[in-house]
Amino acid sequence: MFDYETRKEELNENYTVRELRQMCVHSYGISGVSKLRKNEIIDKILEYEARETTMTEVNFGGTSKLTSEQPKEFSTTIYVSCGASSGRFPGLVGRKVSEVSNFLEEALNIDLDSVPFVNGEEASMDYLLKQGDTVEFVKQAGRKG
């Protein structure tokens, strides 16, 4: 479980503003922190870390009772892209496309009017992601970036 107050105190006492900014950019991919105050930077980090603790990668093995196959490895990591930005993100299987859009909006620069495509086909924002899905958010033509 994520202990917000303990982590906030730890970041405030153990890191300088410069170190926190570097952590945001290099470790978490959080941009736009160069002019923020220390407490604002800490809030950004805590927001990111709180989301990550709820969206962690889960791997599990299983044996099919029907075919007696050997255990297979499954992963909840989903490939997500928007324009030139992309990545593999853990913990997305079983989540709605709208949740993924909200979660990665800043990291991948996802436009609010972007249309989601799952496995190459237009999808609803209510679509629940499954193992092996790829998600791409496409900005509608004729709109400036």
pTM of the model: 0.48
Question: Do 75 and 28 sit in the same domain of this protein?
Answer: no
- Which tens digits make up the pLDDT trace of 53-69? 554 444 434 444 444 44
The answer to whether position 145 is within a domain reads: no
My answer on whether 73 and 49 are in the same domain is: no
Which regions of the chain does DSSP assign to beta strands (E)?
59-62, 72-75, 78-82, 85-89, 115-118, 121-122, 134-138
Residues 76 and 133 in one domain: yes
Q: How many domains does the chain have?
A: 2
Expressed as residue numbers, the domain containing 85 is 65-138
Q: How many CB atoms lie within 10 A of CB 110?
A: 23
Does a structural domain hold residue 22?
Answer: yes
Beta-ladder partners of 60: 74
* Domain co-membership, 106 together with 134: yes
- Max mean pLDDT among 21-25, 72-76, 80-84, 129-133 falls in 21-25
Contacts 24+ apart (CB under 8 A), 6-15: 7/46, 7/49, 8/42, 8/46, 11/42, 11/45, 11/46, 12/38, 12/39, 12/42
Query: What CATH number does residue 93 fall under?
Result: 3.10.20.90
What confidence tens digit (pLDDT) does each residue in 65-75 have?
A: 444 444 444 45
For residue 93, give the nearest of 121, 74, 111 by alpha carbon: 74
Question: Tell me: the pLDDT tens digits for 13-50?
Answer: 999 999 999 988 888 888 899 999 999 999 998 888 77
Say whether both 76 and 134 belong to one domain: yes
15 domain residue, yes or no = yes
13 lies in some domain? yes
Strongest mean pLDDT among 19-23, 53-57, 104-108, 140-144: 19-23
